[in-house]
Structure 1
Amino acid sequence: MNLIHNIKKNIVAVLGMAMMIGLSVWSLTSEGTENSKAVTPVEKAEPALYWYSVSSSNTLGAQLNSTPQTKSESMPGGSKQITNCQDELEANCIVGFATPQSPGSPAPSNPAEDHRINQSNN
C-alpha cells in the first residue's frame, strides 16, 4: 500500500521526466533530417567575359563579342554562340577576359576552366 501511495505522490515527476526524454529524442532526430536536407551543392555562376580567338602561336586574335557573355552562351548551342569549338581537347580555341585585351598579346598558358573553350576533337 505504501508503494502505491509513493507512486501517486510522484506521478507528476515521472510523467515530466518521460516527456522531457521524449522531446529530446524527437528534437535530435528531427534536427538530423533538417541538416541532411540543407546540404545542397551550390553552383558557381559563370563570369561574363570578352572572348578572343587563340592562334597556333598562342597569341590573341580578334575580339569575338562586343559585350561580355558566359562560356555557356558562347559555345555551340548557346544563346550567343561565337565559336564552333566543342571544348574537347587540351588546346585553347578561344579564351575569355573580364576586360578587353589587345589582339596580338600573348594568350594565357593555363586559363581557368570558365575562361576558356578548348578545340574540338574533329
Structure 2
Amino acid sequence: MKLTYTQQGDYLIPDITIRQPRKALGHYGRLRKAYLQEFRPILFNELVLSEKLFKHCLEIEEAARHRIDTILPELAKQYGVTEQLKAENQMEWVRQMNACKAQAEEVVKAELIYD
C-alpha cells in the first residue's frame, strides 16, 4: 500500500481515509474491537492501517454466533432444560436457559474474543 503525505507545519501527516462499512458490527465484533484497541494496540493499528479491522471483527462476530448456536443446545441438553420443563415451570426454564447462555458466552469470549 502506497501512502501519500500532507505537510502540516514541520510534520508530514499520512493521508488516511477510513471507508465506512456496509453493515454494522454486532456485540461480539464490537467486543473484539474494544479488546484489540485496549490490550493489543499494535495489532489494532496494523489492522486499521491495512483496512482489515472491520473484516476481522466481522469474521469474529460470525464465528462467535455460530459457536454460541452450537454450544447452547448441548448445554441445555446436558442440564436437562427441556420443553417439558418450559411447559411446567416457565420461570425455572428461563433461569436455566439464561445460565446456559451465560456459560456459552464465557466460552466464546475466552476462545475467540480475548485471544
TM-score range for the pair, normalised by the shorter chain length: under 0.3
Name the one with the larger strand percent: 1
Name the one with the larger helix percent: 2
Structure 1 or 2, whichever has the larger Rg, is 1
Query: What TM-score, normalized by structure 1, do the two folds share?
Result: 0.24
Query: What TM-score, normalized by structure 2, do the two folds share?
Result: 0.26
